[in-house]
Amino acid sequence: MLISTKGRYALRVLIDLAEQSDGEYVPLKDIAQRQEISQKYLESIMSALSKAGMVDGAHGKGGGYRLKKPAEEYSVKDILAVTETSLAPVGCLNKDASSCNRAAECKTLPMWKRLDSLLEDFFANINLAQIVQGKL
């Protein structure tokens, strides 16, 4: 499993929005400056997060982005699900993987399934508020 730049940046952006959580829209250029991420790249990330219902966007003066829900309601698992194709530790556990003809006799498959479950549980039990508050 390798978390992409897009996934890491999505987390950083949502953490930034959680830290600015006064209900006001935060201009994308301000987020880009604070996070030292290209505004153009952030636009594609924000589009994906908006389509997933994680952020509200507003155009024009006073526009920008804000979280749609309290920070406690955003799990790392849900955020990464928007940006990552898969978090599976091995290819055969990917959602779109074709069935393996060796699965029945694969001695390592139970171990990979257990790791996959541990990773999913780990990310499901961490939310933005915990990260912002440093309570990990």
pLDDT digits (tens, 9 = 90+) for 43-102: 999 999 999 999 999 988 888 999 999 999 999 999 999 999 888 888 888 887 777 778
Q: 54 CB contacts (<8 Å, ≥6 apart)?
A: 14, 67, 68, 69, 74, 78, 79, 82
pTM: 0.89
Helix, strand, coil distribution of the chain in percent, nearest 5: 55, 10, 35
pLDDT, residue 130, reads 97
Write down the mean pLDDT value for the chain: 93
Distance set, CA 70 to CA 13, 47, 96, 105 (Å): 15, 19, 32, 46
| % of the chain residues with pLDDT over 90 | 72
Q: Which residue has the higher pLDDT, 72 or 22?
A: 72
